Amino acid sequence: MYAVLFHHMVVGLAAGAGTLMGLCAFLAWLGSYLSNLESSRSTLDKASYAASIFTLVAIPLAMISGYYSVSEPAGSAILYNKFIFSGIATGFTASYLIGRLKFGSDVWNHSALANLQMLSAIFGFTAIMILGSIGSKITLGESTLDILPFWPEFMNSIVINQWISLFLLSIGLVSVIFSLRIANFSGTISDLD
């Protein structure tokens, strides 16, 4: 019973933090092209940085509380999709946070990395938005995003064999470790330039 209440609270926090992360990162990226936003870029960067940390804490809590809120957490395609999109949201949010930790606030001065950071944040935000839409479909039977003509149907899901998932998980783990080890990220971009 408390899992449901906790889930309601924590998904709201995850959605709010994810939205803040996505929008602030997008505006910080836009600051490179719009002089009006240049002065606010530092604030936007810090806001999205803090929001990404909070999102990365809130998503696992939402997953755990959601898991205990239903009798069969993976009993239908729509619930299964929540797991998948939670993983996607976590992946993009974590990559945004790690990028920000490694490169510092100067990341927005480097065009390619700024694009990458912006895409990570926007994809993370989109995944969280889809998660919210799925949750709304489950509880209310409808979602605000239903108005979009191209919104996909979440009544079907892609179920990958557990061994293939395990294989993908191993590849992901190896690629994360490899990426972290090969990259020389000891300083900030301004130090390297």
Partner 1 sequence: MKSRILVLSVIISLLLASSSGVANPGGKGDNNRDFTCGGSCHGDPSLSALSTADIQISMKSTAYSGTATEVSVSITGMDLSSNNLVGIFLLGSKNGNGDHPEDYGWQIIQDPNGGGSNYVEVISSDGSVSVSWVLLAPMDEGVKEIFVSIHHGSYYNHDNKAYIGETEAFTVDIAPIPANYPTLAEGWSSPDERVSGDSSPIIIRTVNTDDLSVLWRISGESQSHEASVEMVSNQEWEVSIPATLGDTRIEYQIIASMDEFSNQMPWLSIGTSEPYFDGTSLGAKLQSFSFALIILGFMLSLQAWFSPRGVRKEFENTNEVEASLSSDDSAYWSRLIQSDENPGWLWDPIEKEWVADPNIQGGEK
Residues forming the site for partner 1 (CB under 8 A)? 63, 67, 72-77, 79-80, 83-84, 86-88, 90-92, 94-95, 98-99, 102-103, 110, 112-113, 116, 120, 155, 157, 159-162, 165-166, 168-169, 171-176, 178-180, 182-187, 189, 191-193
Minimum gap (Å) between residue 78 Cβ and partner 1:
9
Rounded to a whole number of angstroms, the CA Rg of the chain reads 18
CB crowding 116-126: b at 16 or more within 10 Å, else e: bbbbbbbbbbb
Please report, as a single letter, which amino acid is at residue 58: A
Whichever of 139 and 167 has its CB closer to partner 1, that residue is: 167
CB crowding 166-185: b at 16 or more within 10 Å, else e: eeeeeeeeeeeeeeeeeeee
Whichever of 3 and 40 has its CB closer to partner 1, that residue is: 3
Whichever of 40 and 57 has its CB closer to partner 1, that residue is: 57
Minimum gap (Å) between residue 40 Cβ and partner 1:
24
Backbone angles phi, psi at 71, to 5 degrees: -70, -40
Whichever of 14 and 84 has its CB closer to partner 1, that residue is: 84
